[in-house]
C-alpha cells in the first residue's frame, strides 16, 4: 500500500506555515489543477490531493495530530498511539487516569468510550461550518459603478454574484454558503471575493465622482457652444461658456457614483482644446486677423 505524500510537500509550504500561507498555496494549486481548467490525465488526482492536504492542515486539531503522528494519527487514535508508543504498547500497565485530559483529546480524539477518572473522552464531533474560500475577480468599470451580475470561480465552479453599485477596487464581498462543505451536517463556509476594477478607456473615478475628458474646438471654447457628452448610462448636454480654457471642469450634479446609502457623486467633464493642425490660406488669414485684433485691444 502506497503511503500518501507529506501534506506540507503537497502544498509546497514549510511545516511552520501560517493559515494564510496554507490558503494561498491551496488557492494556487486549485487554479492549476482544477479539472474544469486543466485537462491533463493527472489533474483530477492532483486537485484532490491538494484539497485533502488543505483540509487536514487548515484544521488545527487534525494538523496537530498529523504533526505528531503523521498519516497514522488521522486513522483513529489506536493506530496513532501505537506508531509513537508514548505510554507503551497497550499502555503497559500505565494508569490512564494520569493522562492530561487535553493531551488525551488531542492524541486519542478519534477513540470512543470513557477513560480517565470517569470522564468521557473521544465524543463524536458535532456539526461544524466548512472553511471559507477566497477568490479574486476583475469586473468591468461600468459594472463597478452601476452594479450588476458577475461570475466568479470559487475553485470548484462558477458562482453568480451581485456586484453592488459603487464598489471600489480592492473591495471585498462575501457570498454565503459558497465555501467548503460543512462537517457532520454543518453549514458550508463562505466565499470571500476581492474585487478588482478594470480601467476604462474614457472614464475614470475620483472618490465618488466620475471624470471624462471632453474635446472641443478653439472656436467653441472662444464663442461658447452646447455639446452632447456620453455618460456611463445615457448622455448629458453641456453648455460651454464663452472663453472656456483647456482643463476647465464642468460639473453635472448627481451623475457620479451612487452609494447604497443614498449619497451620490457628480460627473465632471474636463475640457480639452483641439487645435487644428491643417489650415488653408483662408482659415489662416482669418485667424491672423483675429489675433491682430485681440493684440490691439490688449495694447
Reply yes or no on whether the pLDDT at 134 is more than 50.
Answer: yes
Pairing mode of beta strands 203-206, 209-217:
antiparallel
Residue 92's CB is within 10 A of a number of other CB atoms, namely: 8
55-59, 65-69, 107-111, 203-207: which has the minimum mean pLDDT?
107-111
Decide if pLDDT at 38 tops 50.
yes
Residue 126, in any domain of the structure:
no
Decide which of 47, 75, 108 is a domain's last residue.
108
pLDDT tens column, 214-272: 999 988 998 999 999 999 889 999 999 999 999 999 999 999 998 777 778 999 999 99
Same domain, 260 and 172: no
Cα separation, 27 vs 261, in Å, equals: 34
Within this chain, do residues 219 and 189 fall inside the same structural domain, yes or no? no
Number of domain units in the chain: 3
Together in a domain, 188 and 209:
no
- Indicate if 93 and 172 belong to the same structural domain: no
CATH of the domain at 250: 2.60.260.20
Query: pLDDT above 70 covers what percent of the chain?
Result: 82
In a shared domain, residues 220 and 285? yes
Quick check: helix, strand or coil at residue 132?
Answer: coil
In this structure, is residue 125 part of a structural domain?
Answer: no
Do 188 and 223 fall into the same domain?
no
- Phi, psi (5° rounding) for residue 116? 75, 90
Please indicate, yes or no, if residue 44 is contained in any of the structural domains.
Answer: yes
CA distance 84 to 73: 10
Whether 220 maps to a domain, the answer reads yes
- Domain with 15 in it: 7-108
Boundary residue ending a domain (108, 142, 158): 108
Same domain for 184 and 271?
no
Amino acid at each position: 500500500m502506497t503511503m500518501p505524500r507529506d501534506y506540507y510537500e503537497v502544498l509546497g509550504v514549510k511545516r511552520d506555515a501560517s493559515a494564510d500561507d496554507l490558503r494561498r498555496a491551496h488557492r494556487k494549486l486549485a487554479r492549476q489543477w482544477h479539472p474544469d481548467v486543466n485537462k491533463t490525465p493527472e489533474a483530477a488526482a492532483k486537485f484532490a490531493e491538494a484539497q485533502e492536504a488543505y483540509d487536514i492542515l487548515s484544521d488545527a486539531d487534525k494538523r496537530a495530530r498529523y504533526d505528531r503522528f503523521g498519516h497514522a494519527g488521522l486513522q483513529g487514535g489506536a493506530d496513532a498511539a501505537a506508531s509513537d508508543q508514548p505510554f507503551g504498547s497497550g499502555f503497559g500497565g500505565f494508569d490512564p487516569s494520569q493522562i492530561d485530559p487535553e493531551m488525551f483529546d488531542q492524541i486519542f480524539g478519534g477513540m470512543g468510550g470513557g477513560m480517565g477518572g470517569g470522564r468521557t473522552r473521544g465524543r463524536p464531533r458535532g456539526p461544524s461550518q466548512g472553511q471559507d474560500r477566497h477568490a479574486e475577480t476583475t469586473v468591468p468599470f461600468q459594472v463597478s459603478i452601476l452594479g450588476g451580475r458577475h461570475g466568479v470561480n470559487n475553485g470548484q465552479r462558477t458562482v453568480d454574484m451581485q456586484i453592488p453599485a459603487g464598489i471600489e477596487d480592492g473591495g471585498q464581498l462575501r457570498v454565503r454558503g459558497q465555501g467548503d462543505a460543512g462537517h457532520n451536517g454543518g453549514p458550508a463556509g463562505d466565499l470571500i471575493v476581492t474585487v478588482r476594477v478594470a480601467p476604462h478607456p474614457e472614464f475614470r473615478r475620483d472618490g465618488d465622482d466620475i471624470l471624462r475628458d471632453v474635446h472641443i474646438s478653439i472656436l467653441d471654447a472662444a464663442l461658447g457652444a452646447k455639446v452632447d457628452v456620453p455618460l456611463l448610462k445615457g448622455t448629458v448636454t453641456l453648455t460651454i461658456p464663452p472663453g472656456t480654457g483647456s482643463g476647465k471642469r464642468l460639473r453635472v450634479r448627481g451623475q457620479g457614483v451612487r452609494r447604497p446609502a443614498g449619497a451620490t457623486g457628480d460627473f465632471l467633464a474636463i475640457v480639452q482644446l483641439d487645435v487644428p493642425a491643417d489650415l488653408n490660406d483662408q482659415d489662416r488669414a482669418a485667424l491672423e486677423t483675429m489675433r491682430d485684433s485681440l493684440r490691439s485691444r490688449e495694447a
